[in-house]
Chain A
Amino acid sequence: MKQCLVVDDSKVIRRVARRILEELNFEVEEAVDGKDALEKSLSNTPAVVLLDWNMPVMDGLEYLKAMRASPNIAQPIVVFCTTENDMSHIRAAIEAGANEYIMKPFDREIIEAKFSQCGLL
C-alpha cells in the first residue's frame, strides 16, 4: 500500500481527503502544518504528499522548498491542494518542484485524475 501524507490545517479537509484516499487504497497519515509535515516526511518519506498552501507555523510552499532542498532522502510526489487558484501561485508551486496542483474545491474524481497523471494509480 502506498502512503499519502495529507497536510492541511483544517481537520474537516483532512477527513474528506482521508476518506477519498483510503478508497483509492492509500495508507493515510496526517500533518497539521508544514513543520509537522517536514518532520514526518523526513523520518518516513511517503509516496505522495497532498499539500495545502496557507497554514500556520510553516506554509505549504516553505515545506516544499525545504523538502526539495534536503539531500539524501527519497523525494515524494507533491500535489498541492489549495484555494489559491491563480496562475502566479500555480507557477510558483511548479517552479518549487510540485508535481501537480489541485484547486479547491476538490472531489474524488479530481484527486483520482491528478494522482493517475502522476503515475500513482
Chain B
Amino acid sequence: MRTEDFDFLAKLLKQRSGLMLTQDKVYLLESRLTPIARERGLAGLDELISKLRSSRDEGLMNDVTEAMTTNESFFFRDNTPFDLFRDHVLPMLEKRRTNKKIRIWCAAASTGQEPYSLAMILKENWHKWQSWNIEIIATDISAQVLDKAKRGHYSQFEVQRGLPIQMLIKYFKQDGEVWKISDEIRRMVNYREFNLLDNFASLGQCDILFCRNVLIYFDQPTKSDVLGRMSQLLAADGALFLGSAETVLGITDKFRPVRSRRGLYVQSAAPDDLIT
C-alpha cells in the first residue's frame, strides 16, 4: 500500500473513531476492507480509497470505520473486575445510595457479554436488588455488534469462554446451535449507538463505568481526553473499570487506581476509604 493511502486511511480512522493505526496493521486494512470494496462493486482496496477521497460518502466511511474495530469480548472477561464489582463496588453503593438508584455505563459493550455479565451478577442477588432502580446503559460505535448484543444469541464457543455453567443453565435457552440469553437478563440492558469521541452530555451521570479494552486502540491525547470527560460524567464516589492492559497512570490525573484492586479506579478526589 502506498504511504499516502495508508496515511489517508489512518487519518480518517483516527478522526472517526480514535483508532490509532500503525504500519504493522496494513494487513488488517487489506483483509477487512477488501470485502467492503467487493460489496460495493469496487475492484479492490485502491478503488475504495479513491472513492473515499473523491466522495464524502458517510455510509461508506461508517462501514470502513466499523470494519476496523476489534470486537472480541467474552463473558466475565478476566473475572477479577466482575468479582470487584460484586464484592466491593456494589456493597459500597448499596450503603451510599439511599435513593436506591444506580446507573451503570458500559462504554464499549461490543456484542453484549460485558453488560450481560453485570446483569447476571445482579440477578444472582435479586432479593437484594429487585427493589432498586438499576439501569445498565451499553454503548458502542458499531451498530453491527449492537444488533448482535440486542438479540442475545451466542454460539457454543462464545458461551464457553468465561461463562460459569451454572449461569448457562439459569440464564440461557438452547435453540439448536444457538444459545439465547433469557428475556429477564436481556431486558435489564439498554443498548445505544454511541461514539466515545462525541459529547457525553446525552448520557447523564453514572455511578459505575466499564470502559474496557477500547482505550488501548487510542493514542495518548485521545485517551486523556476520553478519561477526562468520563471523570465529569462519573459520580464523585463512582467506580471506573479499565481493561487489564489499560491504566490511568501517565494519562490522566482525574482518576487513581484502587490499591490492590486490579483494573479498578476512582476519582482522584474520592476519599481514601471509599473502596477497601
A residues engaging B (CB < 8 A)? 85-87, 90-91, 94, 100-103, 106, 109-110, 113-114, 116-117
Contact = CB atoms under 8 A, between A and B. Distances in A.
A113 B156 contact: no
Nearest to A93: B165
Interface in B101-145: none
B contact residues, range:
10 to 19
Contacts of A100: 164-165
Contacts of B31: none
A103 B166 contact: no
A98 B74 CA distance: 23
B79 A103 contact: no
B168 A90 contact: yes
Given A109-B161, A110-B161, A113-B161, A90 B169 contact: yes
B37 to A, nearest CB: 32
Contact of A94 (B156, B157, B162, B169): B169
B182 interface: no
Given A86-B174, A87-B174, A114 B160 contact: yes
Interface string B139-180: 000000000000000001100111011101100011000000
29 contacts: A85-B156, A86-B174, A87-B169, A87-B173, A87-B174, A90-B165, A90-B168, A90-B169, A91-B169, A94-B165, A94-B166, A94-B169, A100-B164, A102-B160, A103-B156, A106-B160, A109-B161, A110-B157, A110-B160, A110-B161, A113-B74, A113-B160, A113-B161, A113-B162, A114-B160, A116-B79, A117-B79, A117-B162, A117-B164
Contacts of B161: 109-110, 113
A107 to B, nearest CB: 9
Contacts of B168: 90
Contacts of B164: 100, 117
Which 3 residue pairs across A and B have the least CB separation, nearest first? A101-B165, A110-B160, A87-B174
A96 to B, nearest CB: 13
Contacts of A116: 79
Contacts of A102: 160
A76 B81 CA distance: 28
Contacts of A117: 79, 162, 164
A94 B173 CA distance: 16
Nearest to B172: A87
Nearest to A79: B165
A116 B83 CA distance: 13
A91 B169 CA distance: 7
A55 B2 CA distance: 59
A114 B76 CA distance: 12
A113 B162 CA distance: 6
